[in-house]
Amino acid sequence: MAAEKLFTVAGTATNADGTVKARFANDLVARIKILNKAGCTDINLVELPRAMTKLEALQYIQETQTPTGDAGYAVANKLAEKTKIAKRDQVKIAGKSTAKVADEA
């Protein structure tokens, strides 16, 4: 699997059609300009303390920003999705022991 992308900016924004989405970027000002041009409203982006994966960024937002309403729902949904993917990608090691134990009678 390729290395996951890292982001320095994360948050939420409401699309022109009213849907709220979690957003990720590496340049705060450029991302805000793009979202404004696309007709997005309620743009709430924060600079992260370090470069993070989407999963880490979502956890950080949920712990520090405590989003509410539709933004909170969007963050929680995306966090659940990313957590499920991360768990699926973990390698599971399970095996049967074939060693025999000698009876000590």
- Domain layout of the chain by residue ranges: 7-88
Q: What DSSP letter does each residue of the chain carry, written as one string?
A: -PPPP-EEEEEEEE-TTS-EEEEEES-HHHHHHHHHHTT-EEEEEEEEEEEE-HHHHHHHHHHHT---HHHHHHHHHHHHHHHHHHHHHSPP------PPPPP--
For the chain, what percent of residues have pLDDT higher than 90? 54
Mean pLDDT calculated for residue range 33-43: 94
Predicted confidence (pLDDT) at residue 77 exceeds the cutoff of 80: yes
State the pTM of this model: 0.74
Look at 74 and 104; give whichever has higher pLDDT. 74
Mean confidence (pLDDT) of the chain? 85
